[in-house]
Amino acid sequence: MRGRWGAVAADRLVDTEISLMDEWEMVKTFTGHRIARVTTRTRFNLRWTEMRLYRLAPGDEDSYVLGIVGRSRVYHAGDDEGGCNQGVEVRPSDLDPDVEMVPCQKCHPVDVSADGADGADDAVGAASTTWIKMEIPAYSLHICRDPQALMTALETDHTGRLLDQPSWPARQLMQGARRLDPDLNRFLSGVERL
């Protein structure tokens, strides 16, 4: 059966050059194709997680690349204004105008949105000279030799501690990926006697 999803899946399975960022925002490139992606983003949440899983091209000694990004739309007051000491210092004008950034509810930074300054010139002036602290994306990259290594990466938090159970996006990622990756499906279909 050649359904709509089948056609999409076939397109995705073509290996291409892929670039992802690591913990230092350094770009890593490899050849492969995406087999799953999951985001916890909704219309309402201020912070969310994105996970992307790639299958490396045949011939590579590793099999999977897992990219995780923690994203945020929150910005804080600068350190001199009694902010939460979270994020990196930027000028309000450095914020990406395409992303609707949200002021922190605890430290109440200067409102940098176009309509937040009530159109008053002095408020706009203050916003352009004040430092704010913007929460930036937190990238991580895991190169996994086999399905077991991938599972371990998904069961480990960013400090290296083993989680009691994998997060729900991690589970969704694996369940999506097994449908496009026979090796992963075989691994997850293994029957283990308890």
Q: Check binding of 188 to Zn ion (CB under 5 A).
A: no
Q: Are 156 and 163 in contact (CB under 8 A)?
A: yes
Q: Are 58 and 86 in contact (CB under 8 A)?
A: no
Write down the least CB distance from residue 42 to Zn ion, Å. 21
Residue 53 CB-density burial (10 A; 0-12 exposed, 13-18 middle, 19+ buried) = buried
DSSP 168: H
Q: Check binding of 106 to Zn ion (CB under 5 A).
A: yes
C-alpha distances (whole Å) from 5 to each of 63, 80, 167 are 24, 53, 26
Interface stretch with Zn ion, choices 87-95, 96-104, 114-122, 139-147 (CB under 5 A): 96-104
Shortest Cβ contact with Zn ion: which residue?
104
Write down the least CB distance from residue 72 to Zn ion, Å. 11
Beta bridge partners of 76: 133
Write down the least CB distance from residue 76 to Zn ion, Å. 3
Of 104 and 112, the one with the shorter C-beta distance to Zn ion is 104
Among 68, 101, 107, 180, binds Zn ion (CB under 5 A): 107
- Number of residues forming the site for Zn ion (CB under 5 A): 5
Cα 47 to Cα 42: distance, rounded to the nearest angstrom: 9
Q: Per-residue string for binding with Zn ion, 40-79, x by CB under 5 A?
A: ------------------------------------x---
Write down the least CB distance from residue 74 to Zn ion, Å. 7
Among 104, 110, 112, 132, binds Zn ion (CB under 5 A): 104
Write out the residues near Zn ion by the rule CB under 5 A.
76, 84, 104, 106-107
